[in-house]
Amino acid sequence: MAQQQIWYGGDYNPEQWPQAVWAEDVQLMQRAGVNMVTLAVFSWGLLEVADDQWDFGWLDRIMDQLHQGGIKVDLATATAAPPAWLVRAHPEILPVAADGTRLEFGSRQSYNPSSATYRAYATRLTRKLAERYGSHPALAAWHVGNEFGCHVARDYSAESAAAFRGWLERRYGTVEALNQAWGTAFWSQHYTAFDHVEPPRATPTFPNPTQLLDFDRFSSDALLECYLAEVAVLREVTPGVPITTNFMGFFKPVDYWRWAQEVDFVCDDAYPDPADPASPGLAAMMRDLMRSLGGGKPWILMEQAPSAVNWRERNAPKPAGQYRLWSLQAVARGADGVMQFQWRQSAAGAEKFHSGMVPHAGTETRVFREVEALGAELKSLAGLVGSLCEPSRVALVLDWDSWRALEQAAVPASLDYVAQLQRWHSAFWRRGLGVDFVPPEADLSAYDVVVAPAAHVLSQAARQNLAAVPGRGGQLVVAYQTGVLDPDLHVLLGGYLGAELREALGVWVEEFAPPALVAGQWVPELALDGLAAGPATDWAEVLHAVEAEVLATFRAPGALVDGQPAVTRRPAGPGAGAGGAWYVATAPAALDALAAAILEAAGIAAPLLPAGVEVARRGGRTFVLNHALEEQRVAVDGAAVVVPGRDAAII
C-alpha cells in the first residue's frame, strides 16, 4: 500500500443495479471523496455462472469505470457465498449444526470450511480472478473471503469430524496424550483410538471441556486453512499485491492473534449500537484491538454503517454527527481507512434496511451530506497516513483460550469475558489513555501497566511472563479468574494462579465465592472497604494475602468473604523501583479510584476526562472527541479546549 490518502469508500455491489446506475455511482463517489471500494464480495454466482463457465464482462466494465474515475479497488476473491449450482451439485459442502441439522442454501456462507470440494472450487475462482485482475491498474488489494466464521464458525459434518481427528493426531501424536490432556479418566471417556473421537455434538449433558476447546481451536484453524489456501494462490499469481480479510472486532470463534500473522494489513468490521451510551467506549476498545493485532501499524476500518444496521430487534440510526465522530475515533486510534457497508443501500435482499452511503431516499439526505463532509475532512487528514499512535503505556491481556474456557458451561459462574476486558479498558479510556491488547506470552517490556482480567487459561510461559512485570518496575494487575487453568484446562492446584503468579502477587486463592442471583438479587450483597470503597458485583473469592498489603476488604455480612481481602498489592523487591503486583478479587463499582492508584504507582498522570469525552493522539495531532450531547470543556496539553456536543476538535 503506497498509500497517499486515507481510504474512504465502502462495499460496492454494482451487480445489484442496472448498468445505468454505475456511471452515477462513480460521479457520486467522486463528489463524496470516495477513493476506494470493495468489489465482488458476493459475486461468485454471477462470475462463475455454471461449473467452470465464466462471465467476467460486467466486472471488467466496472473495474475500468472505477479506474477511469480515479477510484481504487479492494477486490474480493468472491468466495464468501458459493452459488446454488455448486451446492446442488455438491450438497456435501453444506454446513451441519451440532444437532445434525444440515443448513440449507439461501442465505450466505453455505459451506463447511473443511470441505475439500469447497476449497477446490474456491481456489480455482481465486486463481481466475488473480490472473485476470492481478495487473489491473485499479487493483489496490485482495480481500479474501469475507468475515470468516461469521455465521458458520463450527461444522459438525462427517468431513469435519475426519479433519478434526487429523488435527488431533497432529496435536497429540498418540491417543494416550489426548486422554491425558482431555482428562478422560473422568466419566469413562477414555479413548483407545483416534477413530473413536467425534466433534462435541449434542450430548446428554456437559461434554468434555478440553474436547470443546480443541474443537474451537480446530474450527478457527479450519477457517484459517480456507483463507490460506486462497492466499497461496494470490501470492503465487500476484506476488506484489497486499492481501487482507475483514476481522469482526471481539469475535470469539476466530483467534485473531494467529490470523493477524497472515494478513498484510488488519481490517475491521465494527457495528456498535448507535443507541447505546456505552458504544463509544466499546468502539474505542475495538480500535485498540485492531491496532494491537497489527503490532501498532495502521489498520483499515473496513466496514461500518453510515447510519442504522438491520439485524438488531430495533435498529436505531446514527444521530447527526455520530458517523463523523466514530470515523475520526478510528483514525485517531490508528486507522488509515474509513470504509462503509455499503456504498448504495440495497433495494432488495436481506440487507436492504442496512443503511448505505447513498440512502434509499437519494443524495438530498442527511446521510449523504454527512458522507460528503467526512470525505472532505478525511482528505484534509491525509498527512496522518502511515503515522503511528502515541505509544501505549498500558497493556491489557487478551487470550482466546481464556475467553472460550471462561464462557464454557459448568464453571464457577457464568461470566462475560469481553465485559471483563471492557471494565478495565474503559477505566483507562476515560482518562485519555491508549491501551494495547497483548497475548499472554507477548513481550511486555514496553508497558508500565499490564492488566490481566479473567486470563483464565495461562501456560507456564505466560505465567512467568506476567510474573516478571513487577521485577522490572511495572505494575502488574491481575483480576479474578486469571490463571485458573493450564492450556489443557487442568486446574492449577494449590491456590490457583500458578506458583509464579502466587509468588509475584504474594497471594493465593482458597475458594471461589461468586455471588448468586436469587430472585433477581445478588446473594451475598458485596461492598468494599478501603481502596475503591463502595458496592462491588460479579465475583468474590477467599483470598489470602501472604506477602501483600491489603488495600481493600469485602463487606458481605454472613458470607465467607466478609472482612477478607479484596484488593492487594505486593511491592516488588527493593531493587525493582516502583514495580508492584496488584490482585483484584471482585468488580468494584468505584473502579476509577483503583485505576487512579495503579496509574499513580506507575507514574502516569492522566486525570479523568469529562463524561463522554475521548482524547487520543496520533501523528502529532490530538483528537478531542465529545460523544456527549452537551458542550464540554477539556484541558489538553495545558490549554482549555471547548468542544460542542457530538463534535470533535483536532489539534
Catalytic residues: 147, 303
Q: What span, in angstroms and rounded, lies between the C-alpha atoms of 136 and 143? A: 15
Does residue 629 bind a second copy (CB under 8 A)? yes
Does residue 511 bind a second copy (CB under 8 A)? yes
Write down the least CB distance from residue 275 to a second copy, Å: 4
Q: Which of 2, 20, 170, 205 binds a second copy (CB under 8 A)?
A: 205
Q: What span, in angstroms and rounded, lies between the C-alpha atoms of 233 and 254? A: 22
Tell me which residues in 540-559 interact with a second copy (CB under 8 A): 542, 557-559
Write down the least CB distance from residue 585 to a second copy, Å: 14
Does residue 352 bind a second copy (CB under 8 A)? yes
Nearest to 385 by CA among 473, 501, 300, 481: 300
Does residue 563 bind a second copy (CB under 8 A)? no
Q: What span, in angstroms and rounded, lies between the C-alpha atoms of 501 and 581? A: 9
Query: How many other C-beta atoms can be found within 10 angstroms of the C-beta atom of residue 617?
Result: 18
Q: By CB neighbour count within 10 A (0-12 exposed, 13-18 middle, 19+ buried), where does 261 fall? A: exposed
Does residue 316 bind a second copy (CB under 8 A)? yes
Task: Mark the segment that binds a second copy (CB under 8 A) among 3-11, 207-215, 331-339, 446-454.
Answer: 207-215
The SS3 call for residue 471 is: helix
Does residue 78 bind a second copy (CB under 8 A)? yes
Question: Using CB under 8 A as the criterion, what x/- string covers residues 28-47 for binding a second copy?
Answer: --------------xxxxx-
Task: Report whether the peptide linkage leading into residue 460 is cis, meaning its omega lies within 30 degrees of zero.
Answer: no
Write down the least CB distance from residue 544 to a second copy, Å: 9
Write down the least CB distance from residue 575 to a second copy, Å: 31
Nearest to 514 by CA among 594, 411, 438, 602: 411
Task: Report whether the peptide linkage leading into residue 524 is cis, meaning its omega lies within 30 degrees of zero.
Answer: yes
Q: Which of 225, 351, 372, 390 binds a second copy (CB under 8 A)?
A: 351
Does residue 124 bind a second copy (CB under 8 A)? no
Does residue 126 bind a second copy (CB under 8 A)? no
428's enclosing H/E stretch is helix 417-429
The one-letter code for the residue type at 83 is P
Q: What span, in angstroms and rounded, lies between the C-alpha atoms of 338 and 34? A: 10
Q: What span, in angstroms and rounded, lies between the C-alpha atoms of 26 and 9? A: 11
Does residue 164 bind a second copy (CB under 8 A)? no
Does residue 503 bind a second copy (CB under 8 A)? no
Pairing, β 565-571 against β 449-453: unpaired
Q: Check the CA dihedral 135-138-142-145 and report its sign.
A: negative
Q: Which of 5, 310, 459, 537 binds a second copy (CB under 8 A)?
A: 310
Q: Which of 24, 60, 104, 529 binds a second copy (CB under 8 A)?
A: 104
Does residue 198 bind a second copy (CB under 8 A)? yes
Does residue 346 bind a second copy (CB under 8 A)? yes
Does residue 493 bind a second copy (CB under 8 A)? yes
Write down the least CB distance from residue 488 to a second copy, Å: 7
Q: Which of 2, 20, 518, 605 binds a second copy (CB under 8 A)?
A: 518
Does residue 273 bind a second copy (CB under 8 A)? yes
Q: Which of 56, 85, 172, 251 binds a second copy (CB under 8 A)?
A: 85
**Alpha-carbon 174 to chain mean position:** 34
Question: Using CB under 8 A as the criterion, what x/- string covers residues 364-403 for binding a second copy?
Answer: -xxx------------------------------------
Q: What span, in angstroms and rounded, lies between the C-alpha atoms of 80 and 108? A: 7
Task: Mark the segment that binds a second copy (CB under 8 A) among 62-70, 297-305, 361-369, 372-380.
Answer: 361-369
Query: Between vectors from CA 153 to CA 150 and to CA 156, what angle results, nearest 5°?
Result: 150
Nearer to a second copy, 561 or 634 (CB): 561
Strand partners, 267: 246, 300
Which residue, chain included where needed, has cell 494478513?
A: 263
The SS3 call for residue 35 is: coil
Task: Mark the segment that binds a second copy (CB under 8 A) among 216-224, 311-319, 446-454, 526-534.
Answer: 311-319
Write down the least CB distance from residue 64 to a second copy, Å: 20
Residue 630 phi/psi, 5-degree rounding, is: -95, 155
Tell me which residues in 411-440 interact with a second copy (CB under 8 A): 411-414
Does residue 134 bind a second copy (CB under 8 A)? no
Which residue, chain included where needed, has cell 479506474?
A: 67
Does residue 169 bind a second copy (CB under 8 A)? no
Task: Mark the segment that binds a second copy (CB under 8 A) among 206-214, 290-298, 583-591, 636-644.
Answer: 206-214
Does residue 158 bind a second copy (CB under 8 A)? no
Write down the least CB distance from residue 626 to a second copy, Å: 13
As a dihedral over the C-alpha atoms of residue 632, residue 272, residue 246, residue 210, rounded to 10 degrees, the angle is 120
Q: Which of 236, 276, 549, 600 binds a second copy (CB under 8 A)?
A: 276
Tell me which residues in 45-64 interact with a second copy (CB under 8 A): 45-46, 49-50
Nearer to a second copy, 280 or 337 (CB): 280
Nearer to a second copy, 271 or 508 (CB): 508
What DSSP line would sit under 242-304, residue for residue? -EE-EE-SS-TTS-HHHHHTT-SS-EEE----TT-TTHHHHHHHHHHHHHHHTTT--EEEEE-
Nearest to 155 by CA among 203, 248, 87, 92: 92
Task: Mark the segment that binds a second copy (CB under 8 A) among 102-110, 261-269, 385-393, 616-624.
Answer: 102-110
Write down the least CB distance from residue 164 to a second copy, Å: 12
Query: 482: alpha, beta or left, given left = phi > 0 and alpha = psi -120 to 50?
Result: beta
How many residues bind a second copy (CB under 8 A)? The answer is 130
The one-letter code for the residue type at 303 is E
Q: By CB neighbour count within 10 A (0-12 exposed, 13-18 middle, 19+ buried), where does 537 fall? A: middle
Write down the least CB distance from residue 533 to a second copy, Å: 23
